[in-house]
Amino acid sequence: MKAFAELIVELGTSTKTNEKLDALSHYFDSADDADKVWVIALFSGRRPKRVISSSFLQLWCMETANLPAWLFEECYHTVGDLGETIALLLPPPQQQLSNTSLSLIINKLVEIEKQEEAAKKEFIVNTWMQMDKDERFVFNKLLTGNFRIGVSQKTIVNALSKTVKLEPSVIAHRISGNWDPAATSFADLLGEQQQSIDYSKPYPFYLAYALQEDVSLLGDEADWQAEWKWDGIRGQLIKRNGEIFVWSRGEELMTEKFPEYHAMKELLPEGLVLDGEIIPSIESKPLPFALLQTRIGRKNITKKNLQEAPITFFSYDLLEYNGDDYREQPLYKRRELLEQIVTSMNHPALLLSPVINFSSWEQLAHIRNSSRDMGAEGIMLKRKNSTYQVGRKVGDWWKWKIDPLVIDAVMIYAQKGHGRRSNLYTDYTFAVKDGDKLVSFAKAYSGLTDKEFAEVDSFVKRNSIEKFGPVRTVKPELVFEIAFEGIAASNRHKSGVALRFPRINRWRKDKKPDEINTIEDLKKMLEVYGK
């Protein structure tokens, strides 16, 4: 556990990708195989089942450290992370520090999952008292199940490729998909010969960068294919071994959530992998993301759900056909074959994401302006002879999004952030005018530079009016331009609207609070874009 805790500390504080890479490859060089499997699993979002709710951890920590609940809360708001708060508050370790390995600790967690609360408490408190601060932090992260580490999959793959004799693209493929770290050995996962076949395994997604420069710098229009950029969930639709699998880009297996796709099981040819967008649509017209959300979080899907938000698949790439990997083929060839397959299937839930015909960049720019009418958030540009690469790569694929919707608003509430923003007011609530009152309509956490956050933080501290737990009401004085991707009616929000992906576009130091937008302005936007 010591080595793993050190790795986490290094990854948490190193500011350069190369340092993270070195820390990881150093770890992979020296750790034992069982631990390595778990580290790969944890860093790719697979985690042991939660054995205990965090309120018990809090309780046991308070007991052990002999602290009142209000003081624990006060500390938690300052630290901004429960696992770290507990690690800092526990008394110093009393026993000889034991260095139990990561995998042993996880096995033990699996073992106590079914046991009584008292047994869990005994194990957890004893383990705490044999650990130093960093180990406790990591252990608490395992217990609370939110292991968010600022390392991209690319970095992990690159670090592994220094120890394992496999191509990075092969490693990326092997560590993706549906494998259980408790039942997989390092050799199974990354041995030169793969032991078992996982039919569900998706390919690593090829991701596009946002186009920042003038589009004409991409060169000859004829080299490029344009498509709409949809606002759904990027996904892979897989048919292998007589079964259907649907993966999201977040590497979540979503097959069960979308019965619409099951109907294709007989129809799709064996050994097929399509890349596309999981999106609700009626007569090929996409529905707002808010409707997709009604389907994602739900365990039991009702008939009404199926009617109101019928899920379809807008396919735009072909990665495997007849069991053969097509990713090295140029895009135009993959597209040709994709069109043949999808057309011949003729299934209402399986659609072809259309190619946009254009003859000049000016014309395409013009077409792009109609993105919102199409239910799209911009245009994708893909080089016609590009291969299907792994991860985010510059050069062949670009997303060319339309400008977001914007509205000027005033900040009225502030709350301290988490992680690197702990103890700093970085989470804000914004309001627009409603007559001579203010009505809150959006929360935003991002979009300012560290320096601006520090400035706003200092304003909040000097101008807070009231304190409600961690929230401060703030003198309505600072005006910000809030950008968002979509707007929908909502009866859960006071303002009657819900925004999609709101963030701070810029700080309008030039504007006074009485110059902000009104609730009527928002309602007009809802009228135009929210249907």
Partner 1 sequence: MQLIEFTDRGLYCRTGNFYIDPWKPVDKAIITHAHSDHARFGSTSYLCHTHTGPLLKLRLGDITVQSVEWNEKVSMNNVTVSLHPAGHIIGSSQVRVEYNGEVWVISGDYKTENDGISGMFEPVNCNTFISESTFGLPIYNWKPQTEIFENMQQWIKANQQSGKASVIIAYSLGKAQRVLKCAAAVTDKLFAHGAIWNVHQALVNAGWDLPKIERVTPEMPKDKFKQAVIIAPPSADGTSWMKKFSPYSTGICSGWMQVRGNVRRRNADAGFALSDHADWNGLLSAVKATGAEKVFVTHGFQAAFSRYLNEIGIEAAEVKTEFGGEEEEQEKPSTNEEQDKEINTADDNE
Question: Can residue 461 be called a binding residue for partner 1 (CB under 8 A)?
Answer: yes
Contacts by 298-305, CB closer than 8 A, 24 or more apart: 298/257, 301/257, 301/259
CB 62 within 8 A of CB 123: no
Smallest distance, Å, CB 459 to partner 1?
Answer: 11
- What sign does the dihedral 208-209-215-217 (CA atoms) show? negative
Smallest distance, Å, CB 227 to partner 1?
Answer: 38
Q: Of the listed pieces 75-83, 397-405, 484-492, 513-521, which binds partner 1 according to CB under 8 A?
A: 75-83
Question: Can residue 79 be called a binding residue for partner 1 (CB under 8 A)?
Answer: yes
Question: Can residue 71 be called a binding residue for partner 1 (CB under 8 A)?
Answer: yes
450 Cβ neighbours under 8 A, 6+ residues apart: none
The DSSP secondary-structure symbol of 185 reads: -
Question: Can residue 275 be called a binding residue for partner 1 (CB under 8 A)?
Answer: no
- Name which of 400 and 453 has its Cβ closer to partner 1: 453
Question: Can residue 423 be called a binding residue for partner 1 (CB under 8 A)?
Answer: yes
Question: Can residue 518 be called a binding residue for partner 1 (CB under 8 A)?
Answer: no
Binder to partner 1 among 3, 88, 253, 306 (CB under 8 A)?
A: 88
Residue 480: closest CA among 435, 431, 425: 431
Measured in whole angstroms, the distance separating CA 151 from the mean position of its chain's CA atoms is 13
**3-class state of residue 472 by DSSP:** strand
Question: Can residue 265 be called a binding residue for partner 1 (CB under 8 A)?
Answer: no
Question: Which residues are bridge partners to 40 per DSSP?
Answer: none
Smallest distance, Å, CB 9 to partner 1?
Answer: 8
How many other C-beta atoms lie within 10 A of the C-beta of residue 7? 21
- Name which of 46 and 416 has its Cβ closer to partner 1: 416
CB 23 within 8 A of CB 10: yes
Question: Can residue 421 be called a binding residue for partner 1 (CB under 8 A)?
Answer: yes
- Name which of 179 and 453 has its Cβ closer to partner 1: 453
- Name which of 437 and 451 has its Cβ closer to partner 1: 451
Share of the chain residues as helix, strand and coil, in percent rounded to the nearest 5: 40, 25, 35
- Name which of 18 and 491 has its Cβ closer to partner 1: 18
Residue 320: C-alpha distances to residues 116, 118, 240, 327 (Å): 48, 51, 10, 7
For 102, phi then psi, to 5°, come to -55, -45
**Buried residues in 490-511 as b, exposed as e (16+ CB within 10 A):** beeeebebbbbebbbbebbeee
Question: Can residue 67 be called a binding residue for partner 1 (CB under 8 A)?
Answer: yes
Question: Can residue 78 be called a binding residue for partner 1 (CB under 8 A)?
Answer: yes
Furthest-apart CA atoms within the chain: distance in Å: 74
Q: Of the listed pieces 74-82, 250-258, 335-343, 486-494, which binds partner 1 according to CB under 8 A?
A: 74-82
Binder to partner 1 among 6, 59, 64, 75 (CB under 8 A)?
A: 75
Question: Can residue 12 be called a binding residue for partner 1 (CB under 8 A)?
Answer: yes
Question: Which residues are bridge partners to 239 per DSSP?
Answer: 244, 272
For 415, phi then psi, to 5°, come to -140, 150
Smallest distance, Å, CB 92 to partner 1?
Answer: 8
Question: Can residue 3 be called a binding residue for partner 1 (CB under 8 A)?
Answer: no
Question: Can residue 509 be called a binding residue for partner 1 (CB under 8 A)?
Answer: no
Question: Can residue 473 be called a binding residue for partner 1 (CB under 8 A)?
Answer: no
Question: Can residue 70 be called a binding residue for partner 1 (CB under 8 A)?
Answer: yes
Residues 122-181 binding partner 1 (CB under 8 A) are 137
Angle at alpha carbon of residue 174, lines to 385 and 187, rounded to 5°: 145
Whole-angstrom distance, CA of residue 100 vs CA of residue 90: 19
Residues in contact with partner 1, counted by CB under 8 A, come to a total of 34
- Name which of 361 and 459 has its Cβ closer to partner 1: 459
Smallest distance, Å, CB 139 to partner 1?
Answer: 15
The DSSP secondary-structure symbol of 216 reads: G
- Name which of 88 and 406 has its Cβ closer to partner 1: 88
Binder to partner 1 among 1, 20, 57, 84 (CB under 8 A)?
A: 84
Residue for token pair 């109907």: 263
Assign residue 435 a region (left: φ > 0; alpha: ψ between -120 and 50; beta: otherwise).
left
Residue 106: closest CA among 161, 50, 178: 50
Question: Can residue 422 be called a binding residue for partner 1 (CB under 8 A)?
Answer: yes
For 176, phi then psi, to 5°, come to -95, 170
Q: Of the listed pieces 233-241, 382-390, 419-427, 506-514, which binds partner 1 according to CB under 8 A?
A: 419-427
Binder to partner 1 among 65, 129, 208, 215 (CB under 8 A)?
A: 65
Give me the residues that bind partner 1 (CB under 8 A), please. 12-15, 65, 67-68, 70-71, 74-75, 78-81, 84-85, 88-89, 137, 418-424, 450-451, 454-455, 457-458, 461
